[in-house]
């Protein structure tokens, strides 16, 4: 039979005796009993023992080993700044060209140049519903560069104009003029311009001529040279 040696007083027993103002007899017996059970004021534990670190269990040692390995793995990773730069600040770019000869049906009428091939791209792309539009996927300033192979199929003189549009609006002070003369006269035209664009904006390269015998010429590869696109356009993000 287990004996209740603690003799815990009932909750209704006051801690202090109201008549004497001293601790009540029941609580005194309880506290004195606890005192005796815990050694009566004596202990073999010294202050030096209290200053010692408790011995680790095998489980604790295993947990520390795992934690140390995790720290080493984290230290092997590249700095956060490099990870952020690689994922967030990758430069957008695109290179596009056309293997089709492009002509003007009507003189002195603007036409948007078409593109049917992509050399390489990241964040800049040909609109899948309109191959005259080059779209960008990030707000930035872009360096637009182009080269065009011009040809004239009849005698006389023809004027050729080229300029960019953004979202259907001509970029101010961006046009170039080229004079081409004579049947089979050929001219190579190139230029570049910085264009600020927002996410989802599109760029078109426009052209016009006062002579419909002026065309953007494409030729297939020969034993002498690779194919000649009628137009090559590159877009490169120049700021982050």
pLDDT at 101: 98
Using one digit for the tens of pLDDT, what is the confidence trace for 165-176?
A: 999 999 999 999
Q: Which residues pair with 124 in a beta bridge?
A: 136
Helices then strands (H, E): number in the chain? Answer: 4, 14
pLDDT, averaged across the chain: 86
pLDDT > 80? residue 217: yes
Confidence class of residue 7 from pLDDT cuts 50, 70 and 90?
A: low
Q: How far apart are the first and last CA of the chain?
A: 83
Q: Which helix (H) or strand (E) segment is 88 a member of?
A: helix 80-88
Mean pLDDT over 90-116 rounds to 96
| Strand blocks (E) in the chain | 93-98, 102-103, 111-112, 117-122, 124-126, 134-136, 140-152, 157-166, 169-170, 176-181, 186-197, 202-209, 214-216, 231-237
pLDDT > 80? residue 238: yes
* CA–CA gap between residue 74 and residue 31 (Å, rounded): 54
Distances (CA, A) of 89 to 101, 138, 176, 201, 239: 37, 10, 33, 19, 10
Question: Is residue 173 exposed (0-12), middle (13-18) or buried (19+ Cβ within 10 Å)?
Answer: exposed
Structural domains of the chain sorted by starting position, each given as residue range(s) with its CATH number in brackets: 1-39 (no CATH), 90-237 (2.60.120.40)
Task: Identify which of 38-47, 127-136, 178-187 has the greatest average pLDDT.
Answer: 127-136
DSSP string, 178-201: EEEESTT-EEEEEEEEEEEE-TT-
Using one digit for the tens of pLDDT, what is the confidence trace for 42-63?
A: 767 666 665 666 555 666 667 7
Using one digit for the tens of pLDDT, what is the confidence trace for 57-101?
A: 666 667 777 788 877 777 777 666 665 555 556 899 999 999 999
Mean pLDDT over 201-225 rounds to 97
Regarding pTM above 0.85, the answer is: no
pLDDT at 19: 79
Task: Identify which of 18-27, 29-38, 104-113 has the greatest average pLDDT.
Answer: 104-113
Q: Which residues pair with 150 in a beta bridge?
A: 187, 216
Q: Which helix (H) or strand (E) segment is 28 a member of?
A: helix 25-37
Q: Which two tokens stand for residue 147?
A: 């080269």
Mean pLDDT over 123-142 rounds to 96
CB within 8 A of 145, min separation 6: which ones?
A: 190, 191, 192, 233, 234, 236
């Amino acid at each position: 039979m287990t004996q209740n040696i603690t003799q815990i007083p009932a909750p209704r027993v006051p801690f202090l005796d109201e008549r004497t103002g001293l601790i009540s007899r029941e609580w005194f017996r309880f506290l004195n009993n606890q005192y005796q059970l815990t050694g009566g004021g004596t202990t073999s534990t010294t202050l030096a023992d209290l200053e010692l670190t408790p011995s680790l269990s095998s489980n604790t040692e295993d947990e520390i080993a795992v934690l140390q390995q995790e720290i080493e793995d984290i230290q092997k990773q590249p700095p956060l700044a490099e990870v952020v730069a690689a994922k967030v600040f990758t430069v957008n770019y695109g290179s596009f060209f056309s293997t089709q000869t492009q002509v003007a049906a009507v003189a002195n009428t603007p036409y948007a140049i078409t593109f049917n091939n992509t050399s390489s791209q990241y964040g800049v792309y040909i609109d899948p519903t309109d191959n005259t539009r080059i779209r960008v996927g990030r707000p930035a300033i872009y360096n637009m560069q182009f080269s065009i192979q011009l040809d004239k199929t009849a005698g006389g003189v023809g004027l050729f104009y080229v300029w960019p549009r953004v979202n259907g609006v001509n970029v101010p002070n961006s046009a170039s003029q080229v004079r081409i003369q004579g049947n089979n006269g050929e001219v190579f035209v190139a230029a570049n311009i910085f264009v600020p664009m927002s996410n989802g904006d599109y760029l078109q390269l426009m052209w016009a001529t006062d002579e419909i015998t002026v065309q953007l010429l494409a030729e297939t590869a020969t034993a002498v040279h690779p194919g000649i696109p009628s137009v090559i356009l590159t877009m490169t993000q120049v700021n982050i």
